[in-house]
Structure 1
């Protein structure tokens, strides 16, 4: 299913005549339009670049050395930005845990964020001080890692910090910290378990792997084992496994090996070797017979699973099985998509994927059955398709499309030096698992050489073994394992936000909640007193220069469409956003869901291409066309490999300008949208997002609707093809468009290509759309709306009210003040609910930017038995902050340091720059906005932030929404001084819509 929202030869194109640029300060300048000659000079059609040529040019040069204590160090030099990524990978994961100690690897990852002997207190404090970005910690079956991207002058400091928690940690680990982090981890477990299908992973691991197998239990662990973790246990766990000789350190970015080596020796060289942790061996198990299982969950539709345990990362069969999964259910044009979603229309979503691990991998197929369709019949059809596929294998074209798509994604990901998937990760994984930092390259070459015969042989070898077939039906959940105590819990999920960010805006402000891998879990933090006097001085921080944002250039097509451009040359990729002044707010109040249905249909057929052809063409080109919408803007984005830019633009133009809105496709996508609405009505975040905006803005406001845009099921069921055409003509049109571009080509080579595809686009006769924000939202009615969601181990607390502020007002002071209150990991709300009380995995507040009426919002998932006390705690935190306990000197400095020193890392990639171009336009900012922001932060005072908070933030105006089990939560909310309204979620659509008259 396609989503709606992962040095090469350049094309030769005609140059643009003289084009002025706008860079730095001042109002942006507009370039002269392209000449008629350029306008008519369409680039020659080009075939996609051969896969082999793309793969050959993916290279991450590096140097490596090993310290006397066994620490392996890899250095990659990349001078594109003044930042350095540091990534430490420990050769220990949950597969190394003995019976009775599940979850220990991940629990210790949390503890390693709680300070060390020479850097006591929360590790997020020094990370914020140096302006770290992309920082996190994760645990999975095979490894634990910590990573951050820092300004180059902070390299000494971050190497000191990483070395201190490697070699000088245990003196700072206390029983108080352990108790707190057990609570946080249990809340992390609850948060994931609380999601629809959140309990499936436990069943899968138990079924696929026999008891005692290293992969039999989840990384998050069991409540019971976490309950009984002792201080002696966790300290022994560290001593046995976290020595330098069990670690890989990767440093990538604005540094050479010659510069890095003396620093590494200085900070890591004195750490003694530890015992050698030999990762647990693990055979690939085969079930003795097919196993079927039925589960029930509070879900919207039946989901079918097919699972096998298959070979791990180092097996030659891993690549061929990954290709097999991609062709079957990973591509937009996959076998399962074409057969079950497009042809049979018996499923609304399908997938097939390979999750590779060190010793084993897991091959998984999922099918979401269309509501009202016989699930048994779909299961039989699924097994027929699978049997035919295994017997006959994929075609050459299918293999090539998957490989091209996969390689293109890897090329885009390698623009980052660090983070979750940048160059440091590629080098570290190869070194840790294969003893070869260049293993990524060998894998890419293996993908490029893969043949259909090899894929078929791998499937016949591994997928003809007995299958584990799981079915999850809607219904009441089975009994849930709770913690013995009342400390807290959640699972391996990144926190979900019910306020969708605008382009360039971070969700809920910076909030660097420690997120996790798909089966892993994230790190923690807790303030604590020093365990002992510092023995090693903290190294000084070098001077961090102001941001040098890329120069912004402008041009205009012959029909008047503006182009906003910035050049980034790190990778051969061009990113384009054709943006329209529409967004979810453009939906008519009486026709919610129209825009999303319109956008979803853009890729489902044009006047010259059907949906399969569009999907296949993207895959052959390694391109990604993605319609998306925020509350204020609609965009159709293209990410293209530079050698394939021409044909990728042809596809983008066709999708935007010539949608067919075929009646059959309208009915099919309508059914999928209705299924998504049903899913929203089972999710805590979906229920909150359908309740709070209406309560804050009113149902008639353009902002009084869920930011998902999925809309009203009754409306979606009756929308006609004519309705969608009308919406497209009203909003998706040239006189409502701006084209934003970031890429490695000069603007003079970009404009003629855009002119050839969009320059002759004329506006339709219907009037252009407009949104009405004239009416102010009604005065808030403070109350608690309790949305009853039975069997919820956790409650989602959401709250907010509308501020007398517009996003175009640039509420700089208020947003800075909110960082102290709730907009950062170290903020008061998060530290109170997570680190002091242990009731939440992550909570916060935001001044959430909108073009027009800006809301102040709160997001706090908490354990169910602490819901009422958590609401009271948030009220108290806000009340104290806005009265007697204003911003401290330490908090002020943290805001200043974090927001000035992180700028280089904040705009490391072309995608980051594209987001900034779009947000600057949305909020009417000058092109040099991000180059001036540092001085504005440096000029802040505590008094300014206190005044801004006290003028604008008022806890008495908050409207609260609590999504949870009313029988458990309701009594806790009494006595808070607010009326409580208990509501039941709207009934989900139970069957596909009747086709509307066309």
Structure 2
């Protein structure tokens, strides 16, 4: 809806209401600025779906090796990087009875273990500056991916071919046991979350015995325990041959360049058996199933789940549109009915989780505490039934299409990773049987009709439903891993298959960061801009010198509540109107905060930039803070505080800052910014208006932009929308005060009792004598040796060698003011004390005579220099760099300077930087876990122990 129409329809009564609510007069538009803004918005109607689709494609070429390996190549020369991805046609649905979790277990073995010719696969990846590297397993596929600088392409292909063809000789019992322990801790980490056990219950109810989708990808503890070395080796022989794989190369490469390299490194790998993916029907329940379970959660959650057709089925797009209209859009039917409507829920969602043979259609409702869950459940079923009968409107379908196309634009900006072109090509090739499925599928969103969506919803959602209700309460007993008598490790040297050594790398040029340009609006707001034209998108952030640290000490949570309300009504637009207009534009506007800054962000197809800025200007400068919305979002924030108090990481994030910084310090608050229940209850509309008036104003603002559109065009649009904006005369500008003393560190263990926790979460660290504007490059590089990254000493010791954790790290978290050092270590409950002891030993050794080694120095220096092109591949990464450069008082060309500075580093300088900042003797340890299990383990660590309840 464009501004001129909206204002015409708003009417005198709505305008009078806004004035009655007390919108600050100083924030209203001048007549001239309003006229310019309306004219801009009226002229810039939302681009059509066809217009947006014009550049959304991933052209590729294909060839096949004699051994059956399919290769897809997409050329994208925007950055000197290449994405490498190998997708295997095997997943957990292909596992036989008694061997659940094998696909995922072997993903870990192939990803993290060494091979016959490369003792540790992660070492060369880090050395070559690989970014976005990992592996994943799901019901239908296993994949591995990394993005490498172009001169490292051959080395990246060598490593990927080592996984495919040369791993069995290096697979020992010792390595299997280590990865088994890591996977079991990955399972514990997921299970330990609120509602973490629900997915298992759903699968068992929806699918009959023997159905390939009945068991989870993570598998059962018992099956993982029983996996023998020969079982796992045979699993690899049966499933990971080149004829069951697709190799995707995307980026700075052509098919002519790719073919000889792929032949060289993959051509000698022999074929394996052809894996025919398990067939599976879409089951229909004989009758509705309704179950209730308890968990240590803050509020009741309702689930509705159906098994529906798979990714390539003709009804898939229609079902996805139905889900988004029901509960995926910000303007969704569920949100309008339960969150904004009768306010019986604090959050809702609906989505389709697509697989190869079938999909799952999910609906969830988090019931607001104090509401009648039975009544909400009945209303939910009625709403779904009514929607299935009547379907969506044409406008709802169009809004879903615009959002999907905008999301597709963002996805194809990246060559590889969890999203990106290799992911989209691989998913199409393996799951849908067509590498070009992405383009075909996204086009279908623009063609779908309301009638087709209604018919699909009626066809599939009228079938018997699985209903699950999760109420607050004690959990059922947890199925732990059992101690087993496994064979002694066989360390007999293996006979490596003859092969040429890993190829050398070419020279990698230093980063060429985009030129940074600056402009200023007539009200003094500075615009900091970089051009990026890989996709026709604009990403923009209006950043304010506020943040969680600006919260009033007696009203913690004010800033978070104010930011949430900014998009829930502005200049007469209701929350629903704001949501609908964003969706029509394919735009995403959000107001968020870190500790130091409050930021309103916009991502939008550049064709719709003008009307999107019209909407953004209202959100920034003219939020309504209507009393009804204040009450609604206050209740939601109180529910989020209660939910955070049931999440182990959330609990640690509330406790650690208070202990480290002290309650009086602006950084001694919950890092989420949610505040405290008492503080939030006391906040009223006047408080929020006053906070906005003091902190969200031109004097505290800077605008950061990354766009394919030139600075002059962007600045003209910003000037039309925000140039006349002024802070209220006579109203003081907010200023943060950091004078509160930081308490003297008192090393101890604070054990937060969270019963029935299969894992403990350890947060440990200190406040450093370091601030964001200090030169921290050497400190960060040094910390890679001990705490940061996969190859750090603490992760290598506790995760890779001992198998006690899914992953842990110790990091410096930069702040504008004093920064903390925080170890984050989720570990299995029965190894909590042992893990703390190992961490103490590792940090003591690092601070003593076991500082940074020459090899660690070279790895950090090489990796950090070589990863720069991949690190700044996307507009979002560029935008983030612009903002952190400004926050930490860095020059615009900061990232172009770091390569030479890395090269000059020595182990001695790195040791000095680490020892000047990090003092392990001053660490305070916060442990969130089951005190009955953990408390006895803490004896003998030499620290006082305080036990406190999770509440």
CA shift in 2, pair 1:372/1:528, >3 Å:
farther
The C-alpha deviation readout for 1:782-834, integer Å capped at 9, x for no partner, is 11100000000000000111111111112222211111101010000101110
Deviates more, 1:885-894 or 1:197-206: 885-894
Distance 2:843 2:874 in 1: 36
The C-alpha deviation readout for 1:262-291, integer Å capped at 9, x for no partner, is 100110111111100000000000111100
Q: Which residue of 37, 40, 44 maps to 1:43?
A: 40
Distance 2:82 2:448 in 1: 35
| Mapping for residues 798-947 of structure 1, pairs under 5 Å | 798-947=763-912
Partner SS state of residue 649, structure 1: helix
Which structure carries more helix by proportion?
A: 2
Distance 1:434 1:819 in 2: 40
**Would you say the 8 A contact 2:33–2:721 is kept in 1?**
no
Residue 556 (structure 2) aligns with: 592
Deviation at 1:384, TM superposition (A): 1.1
Deviation at 1:530, TM superposition (A): 7.7
Distance 1:392 1:49 in 2: 28
Deviation at 1:901, TM superposition (A): 0.3
Residue 926 (structure 2) aligns with: 961
Residue 140 (structure 1) aligns with: 138
Deviation at 1:115, TM superposition (A): 4.0
Residue 707 (structure 1) aligns with: 671
**Would you say the 8 A contact 2:296–2:475 is kept in 1?**
yes
2:942 aligned with 1:977, yes or no? yes
Partner SS state of residue 777, structure 1: coil
Deviates more, 1:444-453 or 1:641-650: 444-453
Residue 419 (structure 1) aligns with: 417
The C-alpha deviation readout for 1:89-131, integer Å capped at 9, x for no partner, is 0000000000000000000000002345443322111100110
| Mapping for residues 26-41 of structure 1, pairs under 5 Å | none
Residue 571 (structure 2) aligns with: 607
Deviates more, 1:429-438 or 1:956-965: 429-438
Number of residues of Structure 1 aligned to a counterpart in Structure 2: 913
Partner SS state of residue 316, structure 1: coil
Q: Which residue of 173, 176, 186 maps to 1:175?
A: 173
Q: Which residue of 129, 134, 157 maps to 2:155?
A: 157
Distance 2:103 2:441 in 1: 28
**Would you say the 8 A contact 1:63–1:74 is kept in 2?**
yes
Residue 952 (structure 1) aligns with: 917
Residue 273 (structure 1) aligns with: 271
Residue 117 (structure 2) aligns with: 119
Distance 2:503 2:516 in 1: 37
Q: What stretches of structure 1 of length at least 5 have no aligned partner?
A: 1-35, 489-526, 987-998
Partner SS state of residue 434, structure 2: coil
Residue 131 (structure 1) aligns with: 129
Residue 27 (structure 2) aligns with: none
Distance 1:719 1:487 in 2: 59
Residue 53 (structure 1) aligns with: 51
**Would you say the 8 A contact 2:311–2:357 is kept in 1?**
yes
Partner SS state of residue 119, structure 1: coil
| Mapping for residues 504-903 of structure 1, pairs under 5 Å | 532=496, 535-764=499-728, 765-903=730-868
The C-alpha deviation readout for 1:866-923, integer Å capped at 9, x for no partner, is 0011111100000001102111111111101110000000000000000000000000
CA shift in 2, pair 1:633/1:528, >3 Å:
farther
| Mapping for residues 464-479 of structure 1, pairs under 5 Å | 464-479=462-477
Partner SS state of residue 963, structure 1: strand
CA shift in 2, pair 1:892/1:92, >3 Å:
same
Distance 1:86 1:438 in 2: 18
Deviation at 1:651, TM superposition (A): 0.3
The C-alpha deviation readout for 1:747-768, integer Å capped at 9, x for no partner, is 0111100000010001113111
2:373 aligned with 1:408, yes or no? no
Distance 1:766 1:39 in 2: 27
Partner SS state of residue 827, structure 2: strand
Residue 102 (structure 2) aligns with: 104
TM-score, structure 2 normalization: 0.94
Distance 1:169 1:652 in 2: 53
| Mapping for residues 327-342 of structure 1, pairs under 5 Å | 327-342=325-340
Q: Relative contact order, CA 8 A, sep 6+: which one is greater? A: 1
The C-alpha deviation readout for 1:487-537, integer Å capped at 9, x for no partner, is 99xxxxxxxxxxxxxxxxxxxxxxxxxxxxxxxxxxxxxx99986486321
The C-alpha deviation readout for 1:21-50, integer Å capped at 9, x for no partner, is xxxxxxxxxxxxxxx999968635211111
Distance 1:434 1:92 in 2: 14
| Mapping for residues 189-268 of structure 1, pairs under 5 Å | 189-268=187-266
The C-alpha deviation readout for 1:427-477, integer Å capped at 9, x for no partner, is 111122333211111111211111111111111111111100000000000
TM-score, structure 1 normalization: 0.90
CA shift in 2, pair 1:441/1:362, >3 Å:
same
CA shift in 2, pair 1:607/1:833, >3 Å:
same
Residue 450 (structure 2) aligns with: 452
Partner SS state of residue 284, structure 1: coil
**Would you say the 8 A contact 1:116–1:164 is kept in 2?**
no
**Would you say the 8 A contact 2:146–2:416 is kept in 1?**
yes
**Would you say the 8 A contact 2:325–2:333 is kept in 1?**
yes
Partner SS state of residue 809, structure 1: coil
Partner SS state of residue 120, structure 1: coil
CA shift in 2, pair 1:952/1:39, >3 Å:
farther
The C-alpha deviation readout for 1:124-177, integer Å capped at 9, x for no partner, is 111001100011100000000000000000100000110111011100111100
Distance 1:970 1:121 in 2: 39
Deviation at 1:317, TM superposition (A): 0.6
Deviation at 1:947, TM superposition (A): 1.7
**Would you say the 8 A contact 1:796–1:861 is kept in 2?**
yes
Distance 1:530 1:366 in 2: 51
Residue 9 (structure 1) aligns with: none
